[in-house]
Structure 1
Amino acid sequence: MPHYKLNYFDARGYAEAARMVLHYAGQEFEDNRFTHEQWPEIKHRSQTGKAPWLEVDGEHIYESAAITRYLGHTFGLAGKDAMENAQIDSIIDTYKDFLNDARPFLMIKTGHVKGNLDELKPKYDEACERWYTYLQKRLDKVGSGFIASKLSWGDFSLAEGIKTAQNFDDQIEKKYPKIVEYKKRVHSQPKVKEYVEKRTDSIL
C-alpha cells in the first residue's frame, strides 16, 4: 500500500481538494501542515520551492491540479472516458483563467495590496458572471449534479473555489444560488461531509 504525504500550509488553499479526495476515498495519508513562519525552514524540501506537493513512495508530484487529478484517477474519481476527462481538465483550466481575472479585486479587498476597489469591481463582476454562467451551463447539460457523469476530482476543486469566493463576496449565494447548491452537494458526499464539518476553517 503506497504511503501518501501531502505537504502544505495549515490552511485550505491549494491542497484542500486533494485532502477531500483522500478523505472521500477513505485513504490514510500524512497531512503535513506548516505555518508561513515555518516555511523558510521547510522550503528546501520542495524541489520547486513551492507548495503543495504530494509524496508517494519517494515520488514527488507538484502543482495542485496535477496532484488532485492524480488522486482522482487513482481513487475512481476520473471521467468515464477521454472526452469527460478532457472536459474536466478544460473546466479546471477555465477556472484558473477566472481566478486570474478576479485576483486583482480580491487582493485589494483582502488587504494584501492597495488599490481602488470601485475601479476593479466592474471587471470582477463581469468575470464572475462569465465564469459562473459557464459552469452552470455545464452542470445543466450533464444533468448528474456534477461536471461529469459522476462525481469527479474536478468537483472537489471547484467546490473549494466556491467556498473561498463566498468568504470574500457575500453576494455569491444571492446571485448564483444554484452554484452554491452545487458546492453543498459536493461537500455532502460520504466521508467528505464529516471532514468538512470538523476541519478548521480558513478564509483561503
Structure 2
Amino acid sequence: MGKFKLLYFASKGRGQPIRLLLHIAGVDFDDVKVTRKEWKDIKANMPHRKLPVLEVDGNLISQSGAILRYLGREFGYYGSNNVEKTRIDVISGAVDDIIFLMERLFYNETVEAAKEKLKKEMVSWRLEEFLGIMEETLKENHNGDTFFVGDQVSIADIQVYNVLDVIPEYFSDHAINMPPKLTAFVQRFKDIQNVKNFLNKT
C-alpha cells in the first residue's frame, strides 16, 4: 500500500477524526493543510467538490464518514463483528446529527442576536440531550470505563472525542455540563500514546 495523503483545511472540522485515526494506527501520511485560496484552485478537481479528501495510490476518496470507515476497515478500528460495526454506525450517526446542527448554526448568515438565541436553545435542548445519550451509550459497554464498542478504540470513539473536543470551543460563552463518564472518557482517549504525541504537536 502506498503513502496516504489527507487534504483538508488547517482547522479541526471534519478532517480531525481522520488525522486522529491515522495517528492512532501509526500510519505515515502527508497532512496537507489547504488554504482557502488553494481550495478555489483545486475544488473543480476534487470528488464531490468537498474536503476532506484522502488520496491512496492516486485514488481520491471523499466524504469524511466514508474515509473513516475505509481506514477503520483497513487498520482494524471498525469493530470485530457485524454487531460491533452496527453499534459503531449508530454512534457515528448520532455524532453526525449533532455536528450537522452545529454547522448550520455557526456557518449561516443569521444576525448575531438571533444566533445567540439559537445557541442557548441548542445548549439547553439538543446538546444536553446528546451528551446524556452518549453518557448512557458509553455505560452500556463495560460500565463506561473503557471505550464505546468492544475492548479497544474504534472510529466511534474518535468521532465522539472529536465532537466533545470542539463543543467547548463552539459554545465557549455557555456552561456545558459534561457527564462524568464522558469526562473520564475524554481524558482516557487523550492518554492514548499516539494521540498524546499528536496533540502535543498541534
- Please give the TM-score of this superposition, normalised by the length of structure 1: 0.86
- 2: distance between equivalents of 1:181 and 1:113? 36
1:37-186 map, 5 Å: 37-107=37-107, 113-115=110-112, 116=114, 117-118=116-117, 121-143=120-142, 144-149=145-150, 150-170=152-172, 171-172=175-176, 174-186=177-189
The two structures, once aligned, show a CA RMSD in angstroms of: 2.0
Which residue of structure 2 aligns with residue 28 of structure 1? 28
Give the direction of change, closer, same or farther, for the CA distance of 1:162–1:86 in structure 2 (3 Å limit): same
The one-letter amino acid of 1:18's match is I
CA gap 1:26/1:100 in 2 versus in 1, 3 angstroms: closer
SS in 1 for 2:86: helix
Q: Which runs of 5+ in 2 are unaligned?
A: none
Cα separation, partners in 2 of 1:41 and 1:88, compared to 1, 3 Å: same
Cα deviation, residue 103, structure 1 = 4.2
In structure 2, distance between residues paired with 1:125 and 1:131: 11
Map of 2:200 onto structure 1:
197
SS of equivalent to 1:148: coil
For 1:45 and 1:147, locate their aligned partners in 2 and report how far apart those are by CA, in whole Å: 37
Aligned residues: percent identity?
27
Indicate the SS of the match to 1:191: helix
Which letter maps to 1:50? K
Q: Displacement, 1:180?
A: 3.0
| Partner-residue secondary structure (3-state), 1:14 | coil
Gap change, CA 1:120 and 1:168, over 3 Å in 2: closer
Deviations 1:28-75 (A, max 9, x none): 111111111321012123121110011111222111111111111111
Closer/same/farther in 2, CA of residues 145 and 120 from structure 1, 3 Å limit: same
Structure 1 residue 10, shift from structure 2 partner: 1.4
Cα deviation for residue 177 of structure 1 reads 4.1
Letter in 1 for 2:55: E
Deviation at 1:92, TM superposition (A): 0.9
Q: CA 1:41–1:119 in 2, change beyond 3 Å: closer, same or farther?
A: closer
What TM-score, normalized by structure 2, do the two folds share?
A: 0.87
**Alignment length (residue pairs):** 195
CA distance in 2, matches of 1:169, 1:128: 10
**Bigger relative contact order, structure 1 or 2 (CA pairs below 8 A, ≥6 apart):** 1
Counterpart code for 1:77: Y
| Helix, strand or coil at the partner of 2:78 | coil
1:13 aligned counterpart, secondary structure = coil
5+ residue gaps, structure 1, are 200-204
Q: CA deviation at 1:107?
A: 4.6
